[in-house]
């Protein structure tokens, strides 16, 4: 995977799977039961490490990704974060708060030391040929959760970006700084590469995309490099338009680009002005469905991404309904053991 | 607006607003209270006609759109459709049904006669220079509601498209036929142009987009023309990728293309192989926010769409929180009375 991130085109792409340590694995569900809250789980280095390693014990994946969550950052910044079963995360919405107060970024990131310790543990346990991925949420995605208090429609976050432009820009700058420190700590702890999950890059006008995605992510990456981190970064502006994805690749110091299910890799390669590793983008539902549909879908992805550096992945996270035998089949297909 | 749909570029674009007859208007809320259920309201020609005309009485809009709903078609086909306040529509999910039975398309569309009567009434009341828009949902969007029983994540509908491919293709074909008949009846009743709302065109792999969007919409449009309808059609594959939008325009007999908020009109004009009217795409939140942000946003849209046929609109439907004075300001800005 690191060769692909350096620009090499391989005959068979490496493969990892977004949310590969997750609820579709019975051993994950058993492990999860050992911590009370989801954040307790993320902050227990032994548990987070074991969760990160579980999928590698089943499948011949080329990368492990730290088990953690993008909302550890708001938690560390002093915002209350709860995970409600079946409903997703809940925060106290900033939109309703009379004034916005956050802890100082360095002190916040010190609170994430257990996450960095988990990275160290995973690194120590991994085979030499397996890449270790650290990650964080993109500033706008994390800000959206903080502003609205939840996911769902992003209307309120977008409205705040217009109505309280100064406050929102300051929040994005704070998140860029905090995220750079958090990613740098993960790199120092042994992460080989870093992914930025901008899960809510969709539905933004061209002007707003520049302001709330490109500008803070640029600041984040400049800061990350200033901190001495050389690890390649994969940006994942999920469900952005093709023009926005190309602008993201051209404007930012990223070695790889995650593509969501709808994206057309071949067309994007023609649009981006430099060689870049493209990661994606099988429909996660095909790991529920399996059979011929999975085989056809995987073959189409391999064909669509051929002719340039490719990291095989899904277009979105694996779902709890995915079947383990289908994941096994996919890994075999991609590695060429099963085509 | 009809001149723009014929390919003319005007100094000032015509303007209408998706969901312009809607809950942000107090007179709409008062009118809505006169019918028990939302479908009763849609099936009362006098009420649907009055709702369609209300925004024209306040604002100098260039088009009226029939007040109706895309789910009248599943209702007419014999599926139970309920509108739950604050939750959106609910249907009995086809996915859970042991066998799929629907009424015959011609008979189903006869049940929509009150909708066609509403079109006639609106047409009779409109000034000569105002365009009357008829509409329906795209086959995939309507199928998604029917399959899942609700909106939200489209995972179950996509899974069904893989798992029960034959059944889903047959459903899409039935919807294409029924929708063509329904649109033809609206054209005969006086609609000058027809919009197809493919609200859930997002998140589809390139192969699935071809299968569930392009193929059934092509069948729909061929059937519509075979029925003798010459009215121009505006396709709105909401939140599709730029490649998919260009493929939609190139493959289908549409005179106009609705663009969602994130789309880049200038880049799309370069990609589409024939001149086409582009409609859009101001962020609906700007009609909540108003002020300088609204002015800047409207100016950006005007600039982005300049140089080709443009129909000004939002990138998505107007929200109940939109302010009437902001709508007034927008119409003035677009018509050049307020810039």
Per-residue pLDDT of chain A (339 residues; tens, 9 = 90+): 999 999 999 999 999 999 999 999 999 999 999 999 999 999 999 999 999 999 999 999 999 999 999 999 999 999 999 998 778 899 999 998 988 999 999 999 999 999 999 999 999 999 999 999 999 999 999 999 999 999 888 899 999 999 999 999 999 999 999 999 999 999 999 999 999 999 999 999 999 999 999 999 999 999 999 999 999 999 999 999 999 999 999 999 999 999 999 999 999 999 998 899 999 999 999 999 999 999 999 999 999 999 999 999 999 999 999 999 999 999 999 999 865
CATH of the domain at A80: 3.20.20.210
Q: What is the pTM of this model?
A: 0.96
Q: How many CB pairs under 8 A join A and B?
A: 106
Encoded tokens for B48: 């649907």
Task: Say whether A145 is catalytic.
Answer: yes
B123-149: average pLDDT: 97
B159·A208 Cβ contact <8 A = no
Burial status of residue A286 (CB atoms within 10 A of its CB: 0-12, 13-18, 19 or more): buried
CA distance A78 to A270: 44
CA distance B41 to B31: 9
Task: Say whether A292 is catalytic.
Answer: no
A137's CB contacts (< 8 A; 6+ apart) are A70, A71, A73, A179, A196, A197, A198, A199
With CA atoms as reference, the chain A residue closest to B155 would be: A285
Whether B308 has a pLDDT exceeding 70, the answer reads yes
Residue A92, SS3?
coil
Q: To the nearest whole percent, how much of chain B has pLDDT over 90? A: 94
B241·A261 Cβ contact <8 A = no
Task: From chain B, pick out residues whose CB is under 8 angstroms from the CB of A296.
Answer: 207
A183's CB contacts (< 8 A; 6+ apart) are A134, A135, A136, A191, A194, A196, A220, A224, A229
Q: Give the β-pairing of B88-91 and A310-314.
A: unpaired
Q: By 3-state DSSP, what share of chain A in percent is helix, strand and coil, each rounded to 5?
A: 50, 15, 35
Task: From chain A, pick out residues whose CB is under 8 angstroms from the CB of B158.
Answer: 283, 285
Q: How far is CA B297 from CA A100, A207, A239, B27, B329, in A?
A: 27, 9, 22, 28, 12
Contact residues, chain A to chain B, C-beta under 8 Å: 155, 158-159, 162-163, 165, 202-209, 239-244, 260-264, 267, 281, 283-286, 288-289, 293, 296-297, 300, 304, 315-316, 319
B277-286: average pLDDT: 98
Which pLDDT score is estimated for B146? 97
Residue B307's H or E segment, with its range, is none
Residue of A158, A241, A260 with shortest CB distance to B285: A158
* Range(s) of the domain holding residue B159: 2-335
Task: From chain B, pick out residues whose CB is under 8 angstroms from the CB of A204.
Answer: 261-262
> By the 8 A CB rule, do B293 and A211 touch?
no
Task: From chain B, pick out residues whose CB is under 8 angstroms from the CB of A203.
Answer: 239, 260-262, 315-316
Strand partners, B312: B15, B280
Task: From chain A, pick out residues whose CB is under 8 angstroms from the CB of B207.
Answer: 296-297, 300
B241·A262 Cβ contact <8 A = yes
Residue of A165, A264, A296 with shortest CB distance to B241: A264
Which pLDDT score is estimated for B151? 86
- Determine phi and psi for B20, rounding to 5 degrees: -60, -30
Q: With cut-offs at 50, 70 and 90, classify the pLDDT of residue B338.
A: low
A242·B239 Cβ contact <8 A = no
A203·B155 Cβ contact <8 A = no
The distance of Cα A143 from the centroid of its chain, to the nearest Å, equals 15
Which pLDDT score is estimated for A338? 64
Q: How far is CA A34 from CA A50, A81, A320, B188, in A?
A: 12, 20, 19, 66
**How many helices (H) and strands (E) would you count in chain A?**
17, 9
Task: From chain A, pick out residues whose CB is under 8 angstroms from the CB of B316.
Answer: 203
Give which of B86, B242, B259 to mutate to test A binding, by max A Cβ within 10 Å: B242
Give the helix ranges, DSSP H, for A189-323.
Answer: 206-209, 215-226, 242-251, 265-271, 286-289, 291-305
Which pLDDT score is estimated for B228? 98
Q: How far is B155 from chain A (nearest CA, A)?
A: 7
With CA atoms as reference, the chain B residue closest to A206 would be: B262
Structurally, chain B folds into a number of domains equal to: 1
Q: How far is CA A262 from CA A168, B240, B245, in A?
A: 30, 8, 12
Which pLDDT score is estimated for B85? 79
Query: How close are the terminal C-alpha atoms of chain A, in Å?
Result: 21
> By the 8 A CB rule, do A258 and A290 touch?
no
- pLDDT per residue as tens digits for the range B186-222: 999 999 999 999 999 999 999 999 999 999 999 999 9
Contact residues, chain B to chain A, C-beta under 8 Å: 155, 158-159, 162-163, 165, 202-209, 239-244, 260-264, 267, 281, 283-286, 288-289, 293, 296-297, 300, 304, 315-316, 319
Whether B339 has a pLDDT exceeding 60, the answer reads no
The angle formed by the CA atoms of residues B22, B25 and B29, to the nearest 5 degrees, is: 75
């Amino acid at each position: 995977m690191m060769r692909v991130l350096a620009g090499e085109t391989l005959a068979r792409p490496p493969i990892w799977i977004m949310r590969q340590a997750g609820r579709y694995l019975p051993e994950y569900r058993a492990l999860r039961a050992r911590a009370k809250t989801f954040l307790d789980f993320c902050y227990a280095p032994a548990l987070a490490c074991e969760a990160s390693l579980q999928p590698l014990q089943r499948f011949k994946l080329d990368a492990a990704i730290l088990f953690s969550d993008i909302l550890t950052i708001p938690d560390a910044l002093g915002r209350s974060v709860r995970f409600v079963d079946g409903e997703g995360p809940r925060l106290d919405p900033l939109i309703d708060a009379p004034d916005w107060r956050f802890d100082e970024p360095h002190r916040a990131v010190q609170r994430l030391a257990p996450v960095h310790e988990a990275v160290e543990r995973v690194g120590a346990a991994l085979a030499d040929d397996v890449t270790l991925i650290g990650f964080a949420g993109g500033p706008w995605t994390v800000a959206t959760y903080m502003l609205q208090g939840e996911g769902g429609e992003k209307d309120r976050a977008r409205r705040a970006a217009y109505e309280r432009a100064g406050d929102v820009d300051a929040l994005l700058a704070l998140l860029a700084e905090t995220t750079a420190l958090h990613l740098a700590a993960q790199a120092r702890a042994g992460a080989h590469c870093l992914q930025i999950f901008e899960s809510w890059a969709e539905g933004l006008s061209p002007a707003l995309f520049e302001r709330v995605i490109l500008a803070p992510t640029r600041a984040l990456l400049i800061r990350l490099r200033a901190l001495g981190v050389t690890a390649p970064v994969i940006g994942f502006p999920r469900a952005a338009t093709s023009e926005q994805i190309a602008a993201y690749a051209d404007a930012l110091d990223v070695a790889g680009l995650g593509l969501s299910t709808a994206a057309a890799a071949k067309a994007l390669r023609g649009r981006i002005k430099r060689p870049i590793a493209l990661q994606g983008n099988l429909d996660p539902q095909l790991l529920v469905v399996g059979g011929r549909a999975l085989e056809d879908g995987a073959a189409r992805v391999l064909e669509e991404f051929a002719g340039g550096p490719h990291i095989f992945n899904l277009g979105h996270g694996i779902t709890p309904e995915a079947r383990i035998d289908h994941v096994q089949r996919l890994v075999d297909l991609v590695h060429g053991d099963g085509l």
